[in-house]
Amino acid sequence: MASNKKYWRSVEELNENSSIVDTLKSKEFVEEIPTDDFLGDKESLEKSSTTRRDFLKYVGFSTAAATLASCEGPVKKAIPYIVKPNQVIPGVADYYATAIADGFDFANILVKVREGRPIKIEPNKEIGGSTNARVQASVLSLYDSMRLQGSTNKGASISWSDVDAKMQQILNDVKTSGKEIAFLTSTHASPSTAKVMAEFSEKFGNVRQVTYDSISESAAIDAYAAIHGSRALPSYDFSKARTIVSIGADILGDWQGGGHDAGYAASRNPSNGKMSHHIQFESNMTLSGANADLRVPVKPSKQNLVLAEIYNAIVNNVSAKDKNVVNAVKQLKKGGNGAVVVTGIQTKEAQLLALAINNKLASQVIDVTITNNKRQGNDAEVSQLIADMKSGKIGVLFMNNTNPIYTLPNSKDFVDALGKVKTTVAFSTVENETTSKVDYVLATPHFLESWGTVEMKKGEISLIQPTIQQLFDTRQFEESLLKWSGNNTAYYNYIKDTFADFGANKSFGQALHDGSFTVSSEEIDTVITNGVDLAVAYQKVSSVKENAFELQLYTKTSLGDGQQANNPWLQELPDPITRTTWDNYITMSAVDAEVLGVTNDITSNGALNGSYITLKSGKVVLEKVPVIIQPGQAKGSIGLALGYGKKEGLKDEMKVGVDAFPIYKDFLTSQNVTVELASGTHHFASVQMQNTMVGRSEDIIRTTSLTVFNTKDQHAWNPVPEVPYDHSEITVRDENADLWDTFDTSIGHHFNLSIDLNACTGCGACVVACHAENNVPVVGKKEIRNFRDMHWLRVDRYYSSNDTFEKEIEDLENLPAFESYEKVELASQENPEVAFQPVMCQHCNHAPCESVCPVAATSHGRQGQNHMAYNRCVGTRYCANNCPYKVRRFNWFDYANNDEFDFNMNDDLGKMVLNPDVVVRSRGVMEKCSMCIQMTQASILKAKKEGRPVADSEFQTACSNACSTGAMVFGDVNDAESEVSKLKEDKRMYYLLENVGTQPNVFYHVKVKNTGV
């Protein structure tokens, strides 16, 4: 049945005579579509023989042709040398012994060079070299794309010959004007630089040289000078220590130039039943405090009182009141000549008291005859220089390897003073705040491109030699000075020619090969001069007034004084304590945070947000400083790292943090401040949010006390997990506890890595070494915040939820039913026990990752390594989910050649640091620690070529090689003589999460603390 309903499309249809309706009957649109407008020239279009179909044909054909053509591989060129240097064999690495001396870090190193480019820095162990994270990373700073590539005069580039002509004229003018020539330099500690400067002074006269350390140790040097007559630092050998009392000295950090960790770790080995006792009085949680047997959180001002009381008790035999001091004094007396007191309080008086105490103790740990030259700065002279600059006494100012405009607390003063000096010259490797304000910027080479000498410790001189041709148009500071003094010898020849003057114990060639030589030196009188009035010093130290909020400034293991701020490896290195990257921040105690209303929140994706505060000290105001609530921070104190907040000579991504140098008044690391809450939320990029082990320290980090370790059976403090089998308990190492078939690993090599948690200080050098060796990409702050960090090796840090891990376990056991786990989940804020644990792929013999890979991309090798074939991986990430150790890392993006990740892998210069033996992984694949299989394979191949067995010391991984404390030992357990196979039999040996049954090839050693004394 037809319907009579009439459907209409618009009201227009109701209008009977509508032209629109009529038009729409025959056409789709009411108006002509103005195709001519957008097609353009109508005539030529009509004339054209190409129809739309033809056009589509052409498009189709060309697309297909392009696709087909792209199936062919690209033509690759190979360009050999014209004249190959004899010592270079393409594909074989050379090693050169040299030293780093950048004014902040000093170390004897070996540089691995491939085809003429340095790619890795290793400690020169034969002459006692050890490297920290910054030294390890310094090879990347060589390839910094923001380096100075040539010299400039007021912004315009200038050739070296013009520089020489101008300088000659300027220097002669100054000489005739009678004004002074001033040098402001970092600590050189270089005998040959000193010689060059002496020659320069002789020629021009009226030359003043001022050494300036951005992080000053001037107080300690002055104290030493007051007693021993010359400005220097004593050296410390903590391996001889039986009792260490540190008052605010981060002996495992950068205190007095750093490098004390190897000796410290040596005294902490409990194997023969003895180890040193370490008491740390400090306000911030430092590495030293985290490793101490007893840590006492004390405000900076109170540290003075602690020191004064200890002094009084030891030197004047006045008994102390504070129970912690009483204990410390007792321990010091017990330690005899193995006791030592060190302090980081940056006043001359405090340092004098410490020296006096050690003298009274007759401490063998401190050596005042062999001085430590890593810091030589003189704060008084720096102030004097600035004053003289202002009064116009200085005619020309030369600055070498120093950035006072950034690092000086009174940098505005300095900038004013600069204006009063007629000519200012900065020698610098990188562009920085200072180079932008001076007349002449003279580009100097990186230390890996330079010649030099450095005397870090008295009597031991290291040679610095270049490991690459100078990349840019640079000239060494010394070479310039020599030239201007009229000496045209190259600095290399100068060192060689004057080598005989040192009276070295070996030839120049031999010294260059070894990296250092020794010279005999005259003894220093160890007797304290009578002129020092210690009573006055005591008076001053004991009367330090307390302030409501005291700021303790410190340097991070990653950035140090900030001169390598453009180094992405260091920016991404997590702070060992806060586990936060790409930032500095205020560390504050929970009590203070609550009072101020400061919060740390964890967002829904697990990332950390924090409040801002405003920090005031006198006239200096630091706005918007983010805060992290730090367990163990002394109440009423806050911490802030120097070296951040730089703006010049950095890629945008690296401009992070707050510049704390303006608050570093009078070079005092502790300052009285006021704080108030500011608005806004800061986004942190932390890599670890889980702070405690939730009472599972038996599975994760086993700790025990020295007393228990010495007196009780191994089963009591290091039990092997047990499982029921056939109505009885068997250990998981029993073959009946094993579901899997094993293959015979007793023939050939079987690699194991031993990690001694007693020796591990958490310094993070291994993390950077792993970056360098394995081409691990940097992902940037944003991606770290998404927990997409790529570190193959992480150093986990755990706090105890109660005072100690032991009590945490008890808490868990006594947790009432239906009680929340919060009690054991949250870190103790007051003074938790801290433990570090490096975790990398455990190379399980029964690897959970291997059995779940759908494409067999990860599989086990006969030598114990868990292999990862990146090209086979399809990126299901099943393995990462199944890994109980969470050590697998997924490549979410292409990190190389990607502008979104503008780090070293995105520029030609930065790529030169890549290890050619390890592939750069692409997007969508899983990666992880390979146990440096490229290194073990290379060692094996070398032995095969030479037809001999592999020596134990030849097997290394990047991390074990970088470890200065010997915490990581790598080797072949099938070689009964190897160190690692002995460590495997040690009673402290245990496996991480052993009850899972994965049978790892990485094992740990129980952490023993000397607490129960």
CB nearer to other proteins: pick between 861 and 924? 861
Return the structure tokens found at 72: 């062919």
Alpha carbon distances (Å) from 56 to 41, 50, 61, 62, 89: 20, 10, 8, 10, 55
Q: Which of 763, 933, 962, 983: binder of other proteins (CB under 8 A)?
A: 933
Min CB(748)–other proteins separation in Å: 6
Please report whether residue 919 would count as binding other proteins according to CB under 8 A: yes
- Give CA–CA dist 482/193, Å, rounded: 10
Name the residue nearer to other proteins (CB basis): 602 or 941: 941
We find the least distance from the C-beta atom of residue 219 to other proteins, in angstroms, to be 50
Distances (CA, A) of 986 to 273, 722, 840, 960, 1003: 13, 20, 21, 18, 11
Q: Binders of other proteins: how many residues, by CB under 8 A?
A: 50
CB of 73 to other proteins, least distance (A): 6
CB 668 within 8 A of CB 348: no
Give bridge partners of residue 638 from the DSSP assignment: 551, 588
Instruction: Give me 591's structure tokens.
Output: 């009590």
Residue 1005 β-bridge partners: 756, 989
Nearest partner of 217 among 231, 204, 199, judged by Cα: 231
Q: Does 520 bind other proteins (CB under 8 A)?
A: no
Q: Are 669 and 580 in contact (CB under 8 A)?
A: no
Quote the least distance from Cβ 721 to other proteins, whole Å: 29
Distance of alpha carbon 597 from alpha carbon 587, whole angstroms: 14
Phi and psi dihedrals of 899, rounded to 5? -65, -20
**Number of other residues whose CB lies within 10 A of the CB of residue 159:** 11
Does position 918 bind other proteins by CB under 8 A?
yes
- From the list 102-110, 230-238, 717-725, 911-919, the region that binds other proteins by CB under 8 A is 911-919
- Minimum CB distance to other proteins smaller for 204 or for 878: 878
Could you tell me which stretch among 310-318, 377-385, 859-867, 1004-1012 binds other proteins (CB under 8 A)?
859-867
Choose between 457 and 750: whose C-beta lies nearer to other proteins. 750
Chosen residue from 514, 907, 917, 986 binding other proteins by CB under 8 A: 917
Q: Does 923 bind other proteins (CB under 8 A)?
A: no
Whole-angstrom distance, CA of residue 292 vs CA of residue 250: 11
Is 9 a residue that touches other proteins (CB under 8 A)?
A: no
Q: Does 78 bind other proteins (CB under 8 A)?
A: yes
Q: What minimum distance in Å lies between the beta carbon of 975 and other proteins?
A: 9
Inter-residue contact 502 to 191 (CB < 8 Å): yes
Q: Which two tokens stand for residue 422?
A: 């007629």
Which of 94/979 has CB closer to other proteins?
94
- Asked if residue 772 lies in contact with residue 569, where contact means CB atoms within 8 angstroms, the answer is yes
In one-letter notation, the amino acid at residue 169 is Q
Q: Which of residues 81-120 bind other proteins (CB under 8 A)?
A: 81-84, 89-92
**Which one of 257-265, 417-425, 918-926, 958-966 is the stretch in contact with other proteins (CB under 8 A)?**
918-926
How far, in Å, CA of 463 to CA of 193, rounded?
12
Binding residues for other proteins restricted to 935-994, rule: CB under 8 A: 937, 940-941, 943-950
CB of 88 to other proteins, least distance (A): 9
Residues ≥6 apart with Cβ < 8 Å to 963: 760, 765, 766
Nearer to other proteins, 940 or 989 (CB): 940
Question: Strand, coil or helix: what is 84?
Answer: coil
* Cβ pair 699, 1005 in contact under 8 A: no
80 touches other proteins (CB under 8 A): yes
Three-point CA angle 212, 215, 218, nearest 5°: 60
Please give the Cα distance from 495 to 405 (Å, whole number): 32
* Smallest separation (angstroms) from other proteins to the CB of 174: 41
Q: Of the ranges 74-82, 304-312, 374-382, 512-520, which one interacts with other proteins (CB under 8 A)?
A: 74-82
Give the shortest CB-931-to-other proteins separation in angstroms: 9
Q: How far apart are CA 357 and CA 309, in angstroms?
A: 11
Span interacting with other proteins, options 69-77, 323-331, 448-456, 731-739, rule CB under 8 A:
69-77
Residue of the chain from 6, 77, 619, 727 that contacts other proteins (CB under 8 A): 77
Q: How far is the CB of 857 from other proteins (least distance, A)?
A: 8
- Tell the smallest beta-carbon distance from residue 96 to other proteins (Å): 18
Assess 865 for contact with other proteins (CB under 8 A). Answer: yes
CB of 744 to other proteins, least distance (A): 8
Which tokens sit at 544?
A: 């330090």
Pairing of strands 366-372, 233-236: antiparallel
CA triple 143-148-151, angle to 5 deg: 145
Among 116, 861, 875, 924, binds other proteins (CB under 8 A): 861
Q: Closest distance between other proteins and the C-beta of residue 84, in Å? A: 4
Minimum CB separation from other proteins for residue 962, in Å? 19
CA distances from 371 to 225, 234, 274, 776 (A): 12, 5, 29, 39
Residue 700 vs 943, nearer CB to other proteins: 943
Which stretch, 494-502, 604-612, 931-939, 951-959, contacts other proteins (CB under 8 A)? 931-939
- The Cα 212–Cα 113 span in angstroms is 33
With tokens 């097997």, the residue in question is 955
Q: Which is nearer to other proteins, 244 or 931 (CB)?
A: 931
Residue 624 CB, shortest distance to other proteins, in Å, is 45
Instruction: Give Cβ neighbours of residue 283 (< 8 Å, ≥ 6 apart).
Output: 248, 297, 298, 299, 300, 303, 550, 552, 633, 634, 637, 639, 670
Binder among 1, 31, 73, 715 for other proteins (CB under 8 A): 73
Nearer to other proteins, 1 or 68 (CB): 68
Cβ 150 to other proteins shortest distance, Å: 24
* Interface ranges with other proteins (CB under 8 A): 71, 73, 75-84, 89-92, 744, 746-748, 857, 859, 861-863, 865, 867-872, 917-920, 930, 933-934, 937, 940-941, 943-950
